[in-house]
Amino acid sequence: MNAIQVGATAPDFTLSDGFGKEIKLSDYRGRQVLLSWHPLAWTSVCTDQMRALERNFDAFAEKNTVAIGLSVDPAPGKKAWATVLSIEKTPLVSDFWPLGKVSQDYGVYMVNHGMSGRANVLVDAEGIVKWVKVYPIGELPDIDEVLSAL
């Protein structure tokens, strides 16, 4: 993976959360956005990663930040997964079609696996990439490290 670089303009996107809501990056101008990629829903590390975002919703809000979970899973699957995990505040969006397009735009798509890697990209209030970290597939991102990057 050749992840997007700090200082780059974050590519805009519009993705569905499966609940009928379209999430558009540029709608969050004026706020920071944490784009938190996980390889596949319904897996243990991905579950823990998205639950950490939800548990820290207020901490993100205090720092004028919105966290969004992204993967190539289809929107209905993201909806079912969010429901099962009781994730109600953190959007979990689908980068399913065209498959991994947003993941590719951010350089976190793993072509040989047909899915995104595990990565966090922080976009500042003006739409510029402020912080990037790519993790080994099996590693849970340290939420305290993420919060300190804000």
**Given the residues 23, 46, 67, 75, the one annotated as active site:** 46
CA distance 72 to 40: 7
CA 136, 114, 35, 60 dihedral sign is negative
Would residue 46 show up in a list of annotated catalytic residues for this protein? yes
Helix (H) or strand (E) holding 129: strand 129-135
Give the bridge partners for 71, in sequence order.
Answer: 94
The count of other CB atoms within 10 Å of the CB of residue 135 is: 17
Read off the tokens for 16.
């569905």
Annotated catalytic residues are 46
